[in-house]
């Protein structure tokens, strides 16, 4: 019998369709978390905006609480302790100032303690056209720090949604030892249809890591439409588990020893080279001289 480190575990993604009522969202999330635990999941991840999907600024501020007096967070720590699981709340809004919020992930250990916090670094400030625009930085402050935490089966790097478009962050996490990278999200239907699968598979392939991304899916009370399709991707870019649009749980069995195998085959994380960037200026064509 092997006495080496544990590398195999069962992971679950909880896909949600969060609305404007925090208590209802928390209850829905815990119901799905319980379902995942009943299927043997040892690590369970929820999506971005687990506790609230709200576009109205006044209501968003009124419904969001500081970490120290946050009933939703207390409910999630109790759920992790009750089910004896690693519970990763993909993100929830947390008040950090009178009119400022953090979009914060929590990794909660089976004893109910908070193992890691991560504040989303890259703010979703985009104009997709057709009246669909988002300005996350109006209400949220960007986090300054990339974050990793050690699970029993390997190191986990934390990202949230729009961070997915920044490969340098993912590479930094992988080079810091991440064998698992979390990407909980609330991707819009527009961008999800175009980019979700491609970006997640690219990040997994580039980092030779498992990528786990729980999503929001469907038409929400606030009128926003999200893409769903929560995904677990292998270091080789294979889709191991995928959801549809509706709230549900998806499961995959993961062995982080596979990461080491892939990184031995393609050790691209050790092949960085310094380089300079040059913009070449085309030489001007010599003037034509006409003989008289």
Question: pLDDT band at 185, cuts 50/70/90?
Answer: very high
Confidence of residue 5 (pLDDT cuts 50, 70, 90): confident
Given the residues 49, 83, 95, 161, select the one marked as catalytic: 161
- With 70 as the cut, is the pLDDT of residue 34 above it? yes
Instruction: Name which residue leads in pLDDT, 55 or 41.
Output: 41
Q: Is 49 a catalytic residue?
A: no
Band of pLDDT at residue 1, cut at 50, 70 and 90:
very low
**In the predicted model, what is the mean pLDDT of residues 236-262?**
98
pTM, two decimal places: 0.94
| Whole-number Å distance between alpha carbons of 157 and 182 | 6
Tens-digit pLDDT profile for residues 120-154: 999 999 999 988 899 999 999 999 999 999 999 99
Does 161 qualify as catalytic in the annotation? Answer: yes
Q: Is the pLDDT of residue 291 over 80?
A: no
Whether residue 292 has pLDDT greater than 60 = no
Taking the C-alpha atoms of residue 137 and residue 199, their distance in angstroms, rounded to an integer, is: 23
Percent of the chain with pLDDT over 70: 96
Q: List the catalytic residue out of 49, 54, 95, 120.
A: 120
Q: Give residues with Cβ within 8 angstroms of 250, minimum separation 6.
A: 12, 13, 15, 230, 232, 241, 242, 243
**Local confidence band at 290 (pLDDT 50, 70, 90 cut-offs):** low
Name the more confident of 288 and 5: 5
In angstroms, the CA 228 to CA 57 distance is 24
Q: What is the mean pLDDT of residues 22-33?
A: 98
208 is catalytic: no
Q: Between β-strands 147-151 and 239-242, what pairing exists: parallel, antiparallel or unpaired?
A: unpaired
SS3 content of the chain, % helix, strand, coil (to 5): 30, 30, 40
The structure tokens listed for 6 are: 């544990």
Which candidate in 48, 83, 136, 208 is catalytic? Answer: 48
CATH architecture of 8-267: 4-Layer Sandwich (3.60)
How confident is the model over 230-247, as a mean pLDDT? 98
Tell me the pLDDT band of 22, cut-offs 50, 70 and 90: very high
Provide the mean pLDDT of the chain.
95
Is 60 exceeded by the pLDDT of residue 288?
Answer: no
């Amino acid at each position: 019998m092997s006495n080496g480190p544990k590398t195999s575990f069962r992971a679950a993604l909880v896909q949600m369709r969060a609305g404007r009522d925090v208590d209802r969202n928390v209850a829905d999330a815990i119901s799905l978390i319980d379902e995942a635990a009943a299927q043997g999941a040892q690590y369970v991840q929820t999506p971005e905006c687990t506790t609230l999907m709200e576009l109205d600024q006044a209501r968003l501020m009124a419904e969001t609480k500081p970490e120290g007096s946050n009933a939703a967070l207390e409910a999630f720590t109790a759920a992790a302790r009750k089910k004896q699981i690693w519970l990763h709340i993909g993100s929830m809004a947390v008040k950090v100032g009178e009119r400022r919020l953090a979009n914060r992930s929590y990794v909660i250990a089976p004893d109910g303690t908070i193992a890691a916090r991560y504040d989303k670094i890259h703010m979703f400030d985009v104009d997709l056209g057709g009246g669909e625009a988002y300005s996350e930085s109006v209400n949220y402050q960007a986090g300054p720090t990339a974050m990793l935490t050690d699970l029993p089966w390997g190191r986990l790097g934390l990202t949230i949604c729009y961070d997915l478009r920044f490969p340098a962050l993912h590479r930094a996490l992988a080079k810091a030892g991440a064998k698992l990278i979390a990407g909980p999200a609330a991707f819009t239907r527009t961008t999800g249809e175009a980019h979700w699968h491609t970006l997640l598979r690219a990040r997994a392939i580039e980092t030779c890591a498992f990528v786990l991304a729980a999503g929001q899916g469907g038409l929400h009370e606030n009128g926003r439409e999200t893409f769903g399709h929560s995904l677990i991707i292998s270091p080789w870019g294979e889709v191991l588990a995928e959801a549809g649009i509706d709230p549900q749980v998806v499961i995959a069995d993961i062995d982080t020893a596979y990461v080491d195998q892939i990184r031995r085959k393609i050790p691209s994380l050790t092949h960085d080279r310094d380089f300079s960037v040059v913009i070449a200026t085309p030489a001007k064509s010599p003037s034509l001289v006409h003989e008289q």
